[in-house]
Amino acid sequence: MLKKSLLILCSLLCFVFMVSCGENSTRIIKNGNETEDPTDTSSDESSSENPDSEGTVTEPTDENPDGGDTPTDPNEDPNENPENPDENNEEPVKETTTTVEPSSDFETKTEALIVTTEDFEEVFQKFAVFHTVTGINTKVVTVEDICDNAVCNDSDPLNDTQKAIKDYVMSVEGLRYLVLGGDIEDIPSRQVHDHFELPLGIADYTDDFYSDLYYADFSNWDSNGNGIYAEDEDNPVLIANVAVGRISVSTVEEAELYFSKLVKHYTAFNTAHTTKSLLLANIATELSGIKVNSGYYFETEGKTISQIPMNYSIKKLYTKSTPFPGGNTAQYLDNDSEKAAIEEGMNLIVHSGHGATWLLTCEQGDDPDRDFSGTMAYNLENETLPFFLSCACEAGQFVTKDSAGEKLMNAPKGGAIVYLGNTTTGLGIAGGSQFIDEMMKNMFAFPYSVIGESYLYAHFNMPQSDTFNPPIQMVNINVPVVNKDSWTWTKKSIVMLGDPMTVFWRDPVEPFTAEIEPEVEENEGVKTVSLHFTPDLEGASLRIFAGEKLYDIPYLMHETVKINIDSAVETITVGIKAENSQYFFKKFEI
């Protein structure tokens, strides 16, 4: 009886063991659904392949490097997919082939326009191709071409070259960005007259100066037709319809240099410097015998520092004063500390204080220790080119040969990628600083953004009234610093030197790393250019410029992209932007 009971118990245990093993035996289907497989897994074939195993053991894979206990189906042919022994037996992602036709949008849609002269046309075509393949349809037109089809009588302010240029710009439907490619001798600016006064005897200015906003604001700047532009009775709107920037170069070599800086900024920006910022402050004015340091404006709640993200490091260099803003978070400003900070590598520099045609930053009085000259700016050696936003007087003007702002932009070993300044007296905390604060709100709103969009945002949102509470002990006075006069003056006098389509990197984004190399076949006068893209680039945008035509794929897959072009075309230019990467940009000989 006992012997019979033991026999029954052994049979039950054997049955339980077989059932528990069978529950784990599944077949992987290509669509990912799992179904039970009733086939007995203990075949002679599997035993011979694994003589030391009681069950089937898989070989190590990338996902299962130790082999593990992953079950397999012995009925599957082990040689069915020898090149991809994936544990799920999924087929590899197949590469498709796409033949791309030229973009019709490029022929009809101009988002950016570069106005230059015949002498600079060739080099600025490089800018146009660069921006086109990195996402913004850009065209070039010369002043000579414009004047061939319009009246350009510079002795008549009602029918001069400036008016012809503005009329042409306004005729381009859908335009968003405008580049003035050259110094004032090449691309003229509009001279305006203005007056500004603040109460309490704080400021009173009258001046004739040049304004590039004339091209950006499509309202009538001479409605009374007297040839004097932007007078109060003319009622110009003074809000930009397009973002205008002047690449103030005098030679082709200077333009080539700036172009190389621009490409590096897009494709090889040093991510270690992305979250680094610098604040420079001079003495703004004096009230009741107290020197009012511009650093107090920076530190006021809701003002400049409040716009900078918490993860950014902020280096503060303020002129020594009593009282001193920033406490122990700020250092004293002098020329050596300013130079060292810029060359340390900054993404953003904000300056509130003084300047002059030949001085990038300075104090009101003669103070050589804090007079940072245009020559010093030209000699800077900084790898990372910052956005330098300043409300200094006259440093941004382009009438006098090589102002401090121009020298900063044309520095051969450093300088800035964009400089915001003034062509006349800057109003600092009475307008210029408020404009800069509005720009910063937009600059930091996105992981990366076009600086021209921030320029437009500031023109739409700069307040027409503002007050400032200076640090006078025992007195709490909100001094009016912005009124309609200062708003108008600031709008006219501000100039952006540099390319308005330049990207501002808010977040650290690594350079593009994939290798791209075209393959070319030629047959009967046609070149077929092929570019292969791996699955890791899925979702990237691709643009190819070849033979004056644009080929556009807004969303890449794992595919080979082919274009057919005339055999006479000798180069193609490729631009790629993938998620969480900087841009790829390269010109290929084919």
pLDDT by residue (tens digit) across 306-351?
Answer: 999 999 999 999 999 988 999 999 999 999 999 999 999 999 999 9
User: If you count DSSP H runs as helices and E runs as strands, how many of each does the chain have, helices first?
Assistant: 16, 32
pLDDT at site 202: 64
pTM: 0.84
In angstroms, the CA 301 to CA 313 distance is: 18
Q: What is the pLDDT of residue 478?
A: 83
- 505, 538, 570 - which closes a domain: 505
Tokens 């509005």, residue located: 438
* Residue 97 pLDDT exceeds 90: yes
With respect to residue 524, please indicate whether it lies within any of the assigned structural domains.
yes
CA distances from 408 to 211, 354, 380, 388 (A): 20, 16, 8, 9
Q: In the predicted model, is pLDDT for residue 8 greater than 50?
A: no
Number of domains observed in the structure of the chain: 3
Q: What is the pLDDT of residue 444?
A: 98
- β-partners of residue 275 are none
Angle, helices 432-443 vs 484-493, to 10°: value is 70
Name the pairing type of β-strands 34-36 and 26-28.
Answer: antiparallel
| pLDDT (mean) for 160-186 | 97
* Strand 243-247 to 203-211 pairing: unpaired
Inter-CA distances, 219 with 237, 239, 245, Å: 6, 9, 18
Please check whether residues 366 and 496 belong to one and the same domain.
Answer: yes
Which is more confidently placed, 36 or 466? 466
Last residue of a domain, one of 69, 92, 115: 92
Is residue 355 located within the same domain as residue 423?
yes
Statement to judge: residues 307 and 442 lie in one domain: yes
Closest CA to 230 of 247, 258, 209: 209
Indicate the residue among 73, 92, 111 that finishes a domain: 92
350 lies in the same domain as 445: yes
**Does the pLDDT of residue 253 top 50, yes or no?**
yes
Predicted confidence at residue 366, as pLDDT, reads: 79
pLDDT digits (tens, 9 = 90+) for 263-291: 999 999 999 999 999 999 999 988 777 88
pLDDT band at 20 (very low <50, low <70, confident <90, very high): very low
Pair (332, 407) in one structural domain: yes
Does 493 lie in the same domain as 345? yes
Q: What pLDDT is stored for residue 548 in this prediction?
A: 93
- Containing 276, the helix (H) or strand (E) segment is strand 276-281
Give the percent of the chain with pLDDT over 90. 75
Residue 463: count other Cβ atoms within 10 Å of its Cβ. Answer: 12
* Per-residue confidence (pLDDT) for residue 379, from 0 to 100: 98
Is 493 in the same domain as 539?
A: no
* 476 in the same domain as 561: no
DSSP summary character for residue 229: B
* Per-chain mean pLDDT for the chain: 86
The predicted pLDDT at position 257 comes to 98
Among all chains, which residue has been given the structure tokens 């400003």?
A: 333
DSSP state of 367: -
- For residue 314, is it within any domain? yes
Residue 31 lies in a domain: yes
The residue with greater pLDDT, 326 or 256, is 256
Evaluate whether residue 379 is within a structural domain.
yes
When mean pLDDT is compared across 188-202, 236-250, 271-285, 287-301, the lowest value belongs to 188-202
Backbone angles phi, psi at 90, to 5 degrees: -85, 145
Q: Is the dihedral of CA 499, 500, 502, 507 positive or negative?
A: positive
Angstrom distance (rounded) from CA 89 to CA 92: 9
CATH label of the domain that carries residue 584: 2.60.40
Mean pLDDT of 400-419: 95
Same domain, yes or no: 410 and 537:
no
CATH number of domain containing 336? 3.40.50.1460
**Structural domain harbouring 275:** 271-505
| pLDDT at 88 (0 to 100) | 55
Average pLDDT of the residues in 469-478: 70
Q: Let me know whether 331 and 435 are in one domain.
A: yes
The whole-number pLDDT of residue 285 equals: 84
- How much is the average pLDDT of 104-121? 96
For the ranges 177-191, 251-265, 274-288, the lowest mean pLDDT is seen at 274-288
Ranking 362-366, 451-455, 488-492, 538-542 by mean pLDDT, the lowest is: 362-366
Task: State the average pLDDT over residues 541-558.
Answer: 96
Confidence of residue 201 (pLDDT cuts 50, 70, 90): low
Q: Which tokens belong to 456?
A: 């437009």
Q: How far apart are CA 291 and CA 318, in angstroms?
A: 13
pLDDT of residue 90: 59
Query: Which tokens sit at 553?
Result: 């794929």
Q: What is the pLDDT of residues 28-87, one digit of tens each?
A: 222 333 333 434 444 444 333 343 433 333 333 343 334 344 444 444 444 544 445 445
What pLDDT is attached to residue 66?
A: 40
For residues 259-287, b (16+ Cβ closer than 10 Å) or e, as one string?
Answer: bebbbebbbebbbebbbbbbbbbbbbbeb
Which pLDDT value is given to residue 286?
80
Q: Is the same domain home to 384 and 444?
A: yes
Between β-strands 503-505 and 448-450, what pairing exists: parallel, antiparallel or unpaired?
Answer: antiparallel
Residue 11 lies in a domain: no
Same domain, yes or no, for 584 and 454? no
Is the confidence at residue 537, as pLDDT, over 60? Answer: yes
CA pair distance 342, 378, nearest whole angstrom: 12
CA distances, 369 to each of 129, 329, 335, 375 (Å): 44, 21, 6, 15
User: For the residues 366-386, what does the mean pLDDT come to?
Assistant: 96
